[in-house]
Amino acid sequence: MRATSSAGPSLPYEDPRPLEVLVENLHKSFGRNQVLRGVNLSIRRGEMVAIVGASGGGKSVLLKHLIGVLRPDVGRVCTADHESPGSPLVDLATLDEAGMDRLRRHWAIVFQKNALFSGTVFDNVALGLSDVKGMSDQQIRDRVRQVLESVGLGFDEVAPMDRDQVSGGMAKRVAIARALALDPVLMFYDEPTTGLDPGRSEQIQNLIAEVHGRPADDGERRTTIIVTHDTGLLFRLQPRIIMLHEGVVHFDGTAEAFQHSDSPAVRPYLELMPVLQARARS
């Protein structure tokens, strides 16, 4: 298991892969509620990382910092700028909205409730391909077909369907297809299997692994960050696991080490995870 204290980056300096995300001494409070109390975290390009922890423990707050929705009270959050040579790290707090848009062109977020807007599946997946990618109508149609088929959905059958016609599992696949359409280097998933039965959860877990292993169009390896309570996902996909506890990184290591940890914080949470996942499904 890697070091679990809040002092310094989590990954060993020998790792040759460039940094995709760096979080240093991150603090965040809401009134008197101190949620994050000095989170330190570094994520290398090509990693799959799962962020876990008890409800109310700061997972969503950390995610909102990583995507630039929240700004730190203390500390900093940096991500790679893929539009600059060498993809240097840039502090999100130093960027205006135009600067954030430069970074977001290389990100995609699959939200817990999918966030599909009213309209057809085609309209949802095509979102941003004209404005962000500058594609022509034919290029957009080809791209939508490609990504729908890549997540196991037939273009002719599914693309014309209205949002309200798709099932929960299909909606999740559409949300992932929409994310893939923008060819992101950095993928964020917020509770991707919430609300799905075990069979559909397994399908989405496998799809996440497949998407992670599929390089971007320019050959760049994808980095995947998942906020989850799903033990099945952890043990099937074997990501690096980051557990937040009492506002800091309490555990940073492999899924196997997490499963066998004797930490008095990890053991009760592991036992509670299936309950939390079932509660979210109900």
Which stretch of 4-8, 16-20, 93-97, 204-208 has the lowest confidence by average pLDDT?
A: 4-8
Is 208 in contact with 129 (CB distance < 8 Å)? Answer: no
DSSP H stretches of helix in 119-181: 121-126, 137-150, 155-158, 168-181
Residue 39 has pLDDT above 70, yes or no: yes
Residue 50: which pLDDT band, with cuts at 50, 70 and 90?
Answer: very high
- Rounded Cα–Cα distance for residues 118 and 124 (Å): 8
Residue 10: which pLDDT band, with cuts at 50, 70 and 90?
Answer: very low
Residue 279 has pLDDT above 60, yes or no: no
Is 66 in contact with 79 (CB distance < 8 Å)? Answer: yes
Is 106 in contact with 185 (CB distance < 8 Å)? Answer: yes
Q: What is the mean pLDDT of residues 243-253?
A: 95
Which stretch of 74-83, 168-177, 222-231 has the lowest confidence by average pLDDT?
A: 168-177
Residue 75 has pLDDT above 80, yes or no: yes
Fill in the DSSP letter of residue 73.
S
Contacts of 127 (CB under 8 A, 6+ apart): 117, 178, 181
- Rounded Cα–Cα distance for residues 88 and 45 (Å): 12
Residue 185 has pLDDT above 50, yes or no: yes
Residue 35: which pLDDT band, with cuts at 50, 70 and 90?
Answer: very high
Residue 275 has pLDDT above 60, yes or no: yes
Residue 102's closest CA among 86, 79, 124?
79
pTM as predicted:
0.87
Residue percentage of the chain with pLDDT more than 70: 93
Residue 161 has pLDDT above 90, yes or no: yes
